[in-house]
A and B are shown apart, each in its own frame.
Chain A
Amino acid sequence: MVVLREGMCPGLDEDLLRDLRAADIKTVEDLVSSDIEGLAQKCSVSYKALFAIRRVLLAQHTAFPVSGADLYEELLSSTAILSTGNPSLDKLLDSGLYTGEITELSGGPGSGKSQVCFGVAVHISYQLKQSVIYIDTTGGLAASRLLQMLQAETSNTEEQMEALQRIHVFRLFDVYALLDCLYSLRSGGLQQASVGGGSVKAVIVDSVSAVISPLLGGKQNEGMSLMIQVAGALKTMAKDFNVAALVTNHVTRSGSGEVQPGLGVSWSHIPRTRILLERVEKAAAVSQPKMSWSVMEAMTGQLVFQTFWMFT
């Protein structure tokens, strides 16, 4: 709701505002929805002047239609597909993470969600030479692990440092800090992070359910509303700045006993692609230091990827 204020548009002065408030018109929506004829008579102002004010306010606050052809041209030139560094995951994702979309990774504890996120961040910062924003809400990110992964890619310390510098980490532990962070990224933070390295191509939130699920349940609506606001902020950022958003989620058991991603039905409409990670135990799992990403897959148990539903 946008409240009417003096000087919002030419012709909207203090006297007119007072008359409008007396006629119970306080917001732009009220003014636009009301009958201009009757209102002009009540506020003793000319029909033409009020009609002009209504038109200017409507033009200021409405969303403008874009032709489909222009939208398509814009998308063709700006959409990119980012490889995740893991060929089988890429195949599952139809060649990689799409910019402008939210991709969700869900799985139980210890199923490798954070490791996949580390792998994606390292791949994008080292191979693709682009910046990554990593929002850590669980405290599970350790720079030493990122360095370990980079050391498996290259032994040149300078390149390792450069790649590490392109990963920008934000540590926050509640949903308001997350919303603050996302809004500040949208209003200039992304440009700042792009200085010095490549432009920001991915925003990883690990994990989004850790900050939202404590607020859900019960009779309060605030938790659901905050969840939808986080989704809206992520999507707008993904679309406006052409970044790929990757989020992680926990899992719960449905009524019939099968495993499903968490955060409920209202969140299920948000991500474009959802991946469920499961841990399949293999005999003789020997852990070795300095493992590369692909080797880890074979050693500590095969990570089985299942697509939940890739929907259009």
Chain B
Amino acid sequence: MAETGSQFKTAVAGPEGEGSVTVCASCQLLARLEARRCLKDIEPRLFPEDRGPDQGAVVELFGLEGTGKTELLYHLLCRCVLPEAAGGLEVDVVFVDTDYSLDMLHLVSILDSKLTLLAGADEAALRSCLSRLLFVHCYSSSQLLLTLHFLETTLSSRPALALILIDSISAFYWVDRCEGGASYTKQEEKLSRCAELLGRLLRDYRITVFATCHAIRRPGVPSSSSDSERSYLCRSWQRLVTHRLLCSRQEPGNNMAAEGGHDQEQRRQQIFTVHCTTFSSRVKVSWSSSFCVTEAGVAFLSASEENKCAARQ
């Protein structure tokens, strides 16, 4: 509060014509005070009980290619933009795309399949869902930094905006490393500044951030699997992350042919596992869930189905 107080003081003390600045400061003050929707209940099958992302939380989805990270992101996106009648949260979402990986047609097919369950749903309902999504593409980490600054004004003007999705935060890793030359500080400088700015936005506006991060090391025979799961981005980003979701893909079992002819579909379904870790009152808590990908998006497996799949392999 002291910080906003001084903002008022400077604005008033300046020469005439500073009136517009006073108005901006008061808008920002109101935008910060107004509560944004808490996303703790965004997906109870992924974040059970009380472990969901609170306001100001950063969730990192980490994994190799084809492990379902972007699919999970679409699932959470749909949950946010759908109307409450269709089981959604009706919040605005910003999707920051850094590697052109947003598949809009797939996203719309997931939204469609969820909206058809709602009586009286039509084109207008789909359009209103899509209008809650703001899409922005960045082609370099400098542009990402500038865009995050610009998003601050968007956050002030849209109190319904509660979630920023970044896909992916690691897209500029190699380009930044090469530009930074030999010094690690210079290599990590750009992403550090983005992370610091994100931290400030999280504190001031109480939003939530979900970001995907591509793995750059495959778990191989010589190195242990923990090596490939370790975060390789800068410290400022690692400090921001509150929940870490490690995504992996289960290889289809080889003894499938021995099973009976039933559940043909499930036999060919690829099962994905998510291993979540978070710190709750200084204690590391972790749990797992599994899901498979269908036409209508992500379908979480119940505990009994999980055990069945585990027993098969």
Contact = CB atoms under 8 A, between A and B. Distances in A.
Contacts of A221: 174, 177-178
21 contacts: A2-B142, A29-B193, A59-B150, A63-B137, A63-B146, A65-B134, A65-B136, A65-B151, A67-B133, A68-B81, A75-B104, A79-B105, A224-B174, A236-B100, A255-B220, A255-B221, A265-B64, A265-B214, A265-B218, A309-B65, A312-B74
A176 interface: no
Interface in A206-263: 221-222, 224-229, 232, 235-236, 238-239, 254-256
B179 interface: yes
A232 B18 CA distance: 44
A268 interface: yes
Interface in A176-229: 221-222, 224-229
Contact of A225 (B179, B214, B220): B179
Given A51-B21, A58-B150, A72-B130, A63 B193 contact: no
A47 B10 contact: yes
A33 B197 contact: yes
Interface in A38-73: 46-48, 51, 58-59, 61-69, 71-72
Nearest to A66: B135
Interface in A1-57: 1-2, 28-29, 32-33, 37, 46-48, 51
Contacts of B66: 268, 309, 311
A254 B146 contact: no
A65 B174 contact: no
B18 A48 contact: yes
B175 A255 contact: no
A29 B149 CA distance: 10
A269 B175 contact: no
A249 B94 CA distance: 35
B269 to A, nearest CB: 14
A309 B66 CA distance: 7
Contact of B221 (A239, A256, A312): A256
Interface of B: 10, 14-15, 17-18, 20-21, 64-66, 70-71, 74, 81, 94-95, 99-101, 103-106, 108, 127, 129-139, 142-143, 145-147, 149-151, 154, 168, 171-172, 174-175, 177-179, 193, 197, 214-218, 220-222, 293
A266 interface: yes
A68 to B, nearest CB: 3
A71 B175 CA distance: 28
A53 to B, nearest CB: 14
A232 to B, nearest CB: 7
B146 A265 contact: no
Contacts of A58: 146, 149-150
Contacts of A61: 143, 146
Interface residues of A, number: 51
B130 A229 contact: no
Nearest to B177: A221
B135 A68 contact: yes
B146 to A, nearest CB: 5
With most chain A CB atoms within 10 A of its CB, the pick from B147, B168, B179 is B147
A268 B146 contact: no
A62 B130 contact: no
Contacts of B175: 225, 228-229
Nearest to B128: A69
Contacts of B99: 232, 235, 269-270
A312 B145 contact: no
Given A33-B149, A272-B103, A309-B66, 9 more contacts: A32-B146, A63-B136, A65-B136, A71-B130, A236-B139, A254-B218, A255-B222, A272-B101, A312-B103
B254 to A, nearest CB: 13
A36 to B, nearest CB: 10
B216 A265 contact: yes
A47 B11 CA distance: 9
Contact of B65 (A47, A51, A64, A268): A268
Contacts of A222: 178
Nearest to A74: B104
A28 B145 CA distance: 11
Nearest to A239: B100
A266 B174 contact: yes
Given A68-B133, A255-B222, A224 B146 contact: no
Nearest to A240: B100
Contact of B104 (A72, A227, A255): A72
B157 to A, nearest CB: 11
A67 B134 contact: yes
Contact of B216 (A71, A79, A239, A266): A266
Contacts of A59: 150
A270 B168 CA distance: 12
Interface string A113-135: 00000000000000000000000
A277 B76 CA distance: 35
Contacts of A64: 136
A265 B10 contact: no
A107 B179 CA distance: 33
Given A75-B105, A221-B174, A311-B66, A69 B130 contact: yes
Q: List the 10 closest A-B pairs by CB distance, nearest first.
A: A68-B133, A225-B178, A68-B130, A309-B66, A224-B174, A69-B130, A62-B150, A268-B65, A65-B134, A255-B220
A64 B222 CA distance: 46
